[in-house]
Amino acid sequence: MSELREAVRLDSPAGDVWAFVTDPANFPLYVNGYAGGQVETAERFGIGARYRWMAHLGPWTLHAVEEVTGWVQGSRVEYEGSIAGVPFRSWMAVAPEGEGSVLSIGVNYDLPPRRGGALTAVALSRTVRRAMRRSLAVVERRFAPAEKIELERVAHVYGFWGRNPVLYAAQDFVTFMGRPGRVRGAAVDALGLAPGAGVLEVACGTGRNFAHIQRAIGPAGRLTGFDFSSEMLEAAGTLCRRRGWTNVRLVQGDAAALDTGETDYDGVLSVLGMSAIPAWREAIARCRARLRPGGVLVVCDARLLPPPLSVLNPAVRKVYGRLAAWEPERDIPGAMLEIFGTVEVQTLNAGTMFIARAVAP
């Protein structure tokens, strides 16, 4: 009899996870391919509870029946049954881990020889394992903090742009109303960098600002590019190799926990990043912690269209929310004022862009 096992780390207490996964009312929410079913016994939980259900598993639509044969409240449940005539045993176990928990699942089944040969067994094993992983992914998202889910969405959006840097450059032209070089250059100028300076760019993307920064700091300076998207960093690395920039270090991570191993940057720059980073206030505070006294944080970001073009804002918000995870309602300059105690703001592109500058005391 073959056994397949999978597990996932969750950010919720074991009791909450147990209550969710053992309630048959929730089976349609997380059982991969679930297509209907019912409880056949008076008791819905515990040993002897019996369920009949149907599922779409790969190319097959299968009917199953199973009964609870083991029950350790809050810890482990075991089932025995058959699906499409194939007997199986399965189990789920929940265990505390730190402030969260670990959910483990296992399936044992025995494919009769008459049902097919080795190739059928391999195909079934892969299908079952894929279904198990998908079910765990659903449970993981069910118990994930909202910011973690949002971070995954941002990673998905910018993963696409990182894999398609040419398309990213094209949308850059549209976003900056045909003036990407001028606006990005103005943001770098606001840092007031001298040759040899150290600069950190948060949400550096594919490196669209690197050329402007390099002109300011020269080969003696140092540039750290920080981004959550590995695809974006890969594109930035390709750009650095093509341009021969050897003074660039690329770091992957979440800006809300920004740590590059250095705290003496002369300037920190973020262009079109703070409006997409889920925990953006924490990111601004982390930027402050990376600066030397007198260092400068510059954030360049976008705003909604002013009147009379504001009638287009619902469409603009929808498009850029999907294509750039953009959240235009954030008061980024206000947060910088709270954290730094001072902020200077200039507007560009008819009020649709701003550059906010704050100096670390």
Side chain identity at 329, as an amino acid letter?
E
Q: How do 353-359 and 291-302 pair as beta strands?
A: antiparallel
- For residue 193 the two structure tokens come to 């960098």
**CA 201 – CA 220 distance, rounded (Å):** 17
Q: What are phi and psi of 128, to 5 degrees?
A: -65, -45
**CA 88 – CA 109 distance, rounded (Å):** 4
Q: Tell me the whole-structure pTM to 2 decimals.
A: 0.68
- pLDDT value, residue 116: 53
**CA 146 – CA 81 distance, rounded (Å):** 37
**CA 195 – CA 333 distance, rounded (Å):** 28
The 3-state DSSP composition of the chain as helix, strand, coil percent (nearest 5) reads 40, 30, 30
Q: Which fold has domain 155-359?
A: Rossmann fold (3.40.50)
Q: How many CA atoms lie within 13 A of 112 on its CB side?
A: 8
Q: Which fold has domain 2-144?
A: Alpha-D-Glucose-1,6-Bisphosphate; Chain A, domain 4 (3.30.530)
Q: Which residue has the tokens 């998207």?
A: 229
Give the confidence band of 125 by pLDDT, cuts at 50, 70, 90.
Answer: confident
Identify whether the C-beta of residue 182 lies closer than 8 Å to the C-beta of residue 353: no
On average, the pLDDT of the chain sits at 91
- pLDDT value, residue 348: 94
Identify whether the C-beta of residue 277 lies closer than 8 Å to the C-beta of residue 153: no
Identify whether the C-beta of residue 336 lies closer than 8 Å to the C-beta of residue 343: yes
Domain boundaries defined on the chain = 2-144, 155-359
Identify whether the C-beta of residue 53 lies closer than 8 Å to the C-beta of residue 162: no
Give the tens place of pLDDT for each residue, 214-261. Answer: 999 999 999 999 999 999 999 999 999 999 999 999 999 999 999 999
CA-nearest of 297, 296, 354 to 328 is: 354
In the predicted model, is pLDDT for residue 73 greater than 90? yes
CA-nearest of 209, 173, 172 to 191 is: 209
Give the confidence band of 117 by pLDDT, cuts at 50, 70, 90.
Answer: low
- pLDDT value, residue 133: 92
How many helical (H) and strand (E) elements, i.e. helices and strands, does the chain have?
11, 14
Q: Decide: residue 311, CB within 10 A, 0-12 exposed, 13-18 middle, 19+ buried.
A: exposed
